[in-house]
Chain A
Amino acid sequence: MPAAAMISNSMRRNFIASGFFFLLTALVAVSAAPRAEAQTAAGSRDLSGIWDKVSVASPPWAPGTDRQFVSEVPLQPWAEEYCREVGCGRGSNSSGEPSGGTYYVVKDPAFTISRCAPYGFPRVMIGGGLMEIFQNPARVFLRFQTNNELREIWLDGREHPDDADPTWMGHSVGRWDGDALAVDTVGIRGGEHGKYKWLDPAGTPHGDELHITERIRRTARDALQIDMTFEDPEAFTAPFAGKVVYELRPDEEIYEYIRCENRVFSDDRKEIWPLIFGDEYPKPNFPPAGTAP
């Protein structure tokens, strides 16, 4: 006799009852999952896509130009001195128009004729171009066209590590606050007074204690707004805030981009390591824009 036949009627009823309970639970689970997904798909918590930076809005970026992080960044004396040396934000293009970059480009640690350093965060976000965002439940990834640099923002509730070595990207944790992703980043390497790393393309230096908060929000299907605050007692006399706006570029793609690939292929000493020939490297022959910070 099959085992099932040994089961009493009451037990069977229990089975049926628990069957219904299971069914109910399963139905709730199954119907809830698509709802949660639909909410994501509606755009609120979905940041994914290819984005292009359209503006870096003031303050503290100078009005009327695309100069970034210029005069109002509250610099500590050493940072101010550094900015005077490299001409923070006083660069211009060959027709003499303000470019928002540094005047003395060979001092840019990321420049191919300089140290070929990664941009790191936040420069890659402020001064980069295309950025792709993709996400899974534990993380949001930001992949930049520049050097294919990659940021990861942890969403799984973890905290910053206690004693991590500083990195170029820092350690980022995020949580959703409505439809905005609130991100907190620490552990960003400072780059020894601007020598190895800059905060932005203008040349602003920062220290190891830089603390950045971001509110990343899709303000429209095609628009991404990132409100940032910067705090760094080593380099700045006060915290300050800024805003970066990106636009969706669905037809664009992030291509492979190897940092300073030209050096890999070069057999010419000067091309490989122009830094040591720094004195021979031509200084820009157009005047610095704006006034000294």
Chain B
Amino acid sequence: MRRLCVSWRLRGSWIAIGVFLTVWAVPAAVAQNNAQNRDLSGVWIKTDSATLPWAPGRKTIFAAEVPLQRWAMEHCRKVGCGRGTDSAGTPWGTAYLQGEDPVFIRCAPQGFPRLLLSGGAMEIFHTAKRVFMRFYFGNEMRQIWVDGRGHPESVNTTWHGDSIGRWDGDALVVDTVGILGGEQGKFKWLDPSGNPHSDDLRVVERIRRSDPKTLVFDVRFEDPGAFTAPFSGTLVYTLNPDAEPGRTDSVPEYVQCEDRIYADTEGEAWPFVTGDYPKPNFPPVGPER
């Protein structure tokens, strides 16, 4: 073959290039490619609607199949989990009694995983050892350790839990435990529908950038304190379409319950304690749980 008829002088160069490519350039290129796939950064907006979990016809993770234990079912019956509507009567997927929502009445943080499920913008940025998710709502921030550490031996429960992640190909697999339970739905909900959870909640996420503008979360929920069985679902986020190309995008400042900071009367500041919080005057939708 003519291809082999290269002089020895040149052949030496080919060998040098070959060695370079094998030893240096190719692995570097592969690593770079992985690094690109492993870049989750950007501002993401949830497109798949877990905010309408109970609405009929919707195929979402929080459809009526959340396998609630008896106490959790009772809580859901009381607050009308997912049976809320907007003023036009359109199913909204929230709880019917929004006056029972700790985020509204107590100014509680949403915490994890509700933040992830309820939508709104979320920003992801990386540092060497961590992946951060900063949510627009309340500027709540999660940190996921990706430096190989395990969960601490005894985890104090927090609103966002203790999250550790590892890369599996181009997917970030995140394990979260130590999530504050909120005393049977009183202080914290799993989702905007009103489902409660306990301190035993464990959430496993597989987060993958399926294409440059799409982020897919496969999520598994397990909570022997609130659910009769584990269940899972998928969330889809889309890259903020308003992001300026070539410039790092971020979420704006959002101070939760800021209006209460400025309030001078109890009615303005804390309608819940005065009992003035209006109950919805439209009927709950969907089947009672």
- Chain A residues with a Cβ under 8 A of chain B: 2, 4-5, 12-13, 16, 19-20, 23, 26, 30, 48, 109, 115-118, 134-136, 138-139, 143, 148, 150, 152, 154, 156, 158, 167-169, 196, 255-256, 258-260, 263-265, 269, 272-273, 275-276
Collect the chain B residues with CB atoms within 8 Å of residue A276's CB. 264-266, 269
Within 8 A of A (CB), among B81-140: 102, 106-109, 125-127, 130, 134, 139
Sample (5) of A-B pairs whose CB atoms are under 8 Å apart: A118-B255, A148-B141, A264-B106, A264-B109, A269-B270
B279 at the A interface (CB under 8 A): no
**Given known A109-B261, A150-B139, contact A135–B127 (CB-CB < 8 A):** yes
Q: Is the CB of A16 within 8 A of B253?
A: no
Stretch at the interface among B1-9, B209-217, B221-229: B1-9
Alpha-carbon distance between A12 and B10 when the two chains are bound, in angstroms: 10
New A-B pairs, 17, CB < 8 Å, besides A26-B24, A152-B250: A2-B1, A16-B13, A20-B13, A26-B20, A30-B28, A115-B260, A116-B261, A135-B127, A150-B134, A150-B139, A196-B261, A196-B262, A265-B187, A273-B270, A275-B269, A276-B266, A276-B269
Collect the chain B residues with CB atoms within 8 Å of residue A134's CB. 127, 130
**Given known A30-B28, A152-B250, A256-B158, contact A136–B127 (CB-CB < 8 A):** yes
Collect the chain A residues with CB atoms within 8 Å of residue B1's CB. 2, 5
Within 8 A of A (CB), among B232-248: 247-248
Give the distance to chain B from A29, nearest Cβ to Cβ, in Å.
Answer: 10
Alpha-carbon distance between A115 and B269 when the two chains are bound, in angstroms: 10
7 interchain residue pairs of minimum CB distance: A138-B248, A256-B158, A167-B253, A264-B108, A117-B261, A5-B2, A269-B273
Q: Is the CB of A156 within 8 A of B248?
A: yes
Alpha-carbon distance between A16 and B130 when the two chains are bound, in angstroms: 43
B17 at the A interface (CB under 8 A): yes
Name the residue of chain B whose CB is nearest to the CB of A259.
Answer: B256
Q: Is the CB of B260 within 8 A of A116?
A: yes
Alpha-carbon distance between A273 and B270 when the two chains are bound, in angstroms: 7
B159 at the A interface (CB under 8 A): yes
Q: Is the CB of B141 within 8 A of A150?
A: yes
Alpha-carbon distance between A148 and B159 when the two chains are bound, in angstroms: 13
Q: Is the CB of A16 within 8 A of B266?
A: no
**Given known A118-B255, A265-B187, A273-B273, contact A16–B250 (CB-CB < 8 A):** no
Collect the chain B residues with CB atoms within 8 Å of residue A168's CB. 253, 255
Selected contact of A263 from candidates B3, B107, B126, B250, CB within 8 Å: B107
Alpha-carbon distance between A266 and B10 when the two chains are bound, in angstroms: 81
B206 at the A interface (CB under 8 A): no
Give the distance to chain B from A261, nearest Cβ to Cβ, in Å.
Answer: 9
B35 at the A interface (CB under 8 A): no
Collect the chain B residues with CB atoms within 8 Å of residue A138's CB. 248
Name the residue of chain A whose CB is nearest to the CB of B102.
Answer: A264
Collect the chain B residues with CB atoms within 8 Å of residue A264's CB. 102, 106-109, 187
Within 8 A of A (CB), among B10-47: 10, 13-14, 17, 20, 24-25, 28
Collect the chain A residues with CB atoms within 8 Å of residue B108's CB. 264
Q: Is the CB of B253 within 8 A of A169?
A: yes
Alpha-carbon distance between A76 and B160 when the two chains are bound, in angstroms: 44
Name the residue of chain B whose CB is nearest to the CB of A4.
Answer: B3
Alpha-carbon distance between A196 and B259 when the two chains are bound, in angstroms: 11
Q: Is the CB of B247 within 8 A of A30?
A: no
Give the distance to chain B from A36, nearest Cβ to Cβ, in Å.
Answer: 15
Collect the chain A residues with CB atoms within 8 Å of residue B270's CB. 269, 272-273
Q: Is the CB of B266 within 8 A of A269?
A: yes
Collect the chain B residues with CB atoms within 8 Å of residue A260's CB. 107
Q: Is the CB of B25 within 8 A of A26?
A: yes
Name the residue of chain B whose CB is nearest to the CB of A260.
Answer: B107
Name the residue of chain A whose CB is nearest to the CB of B16.
Answer: A23
Collect the chain B residues with CB atoms within 8 Å of residue A258's CB. 109, 159
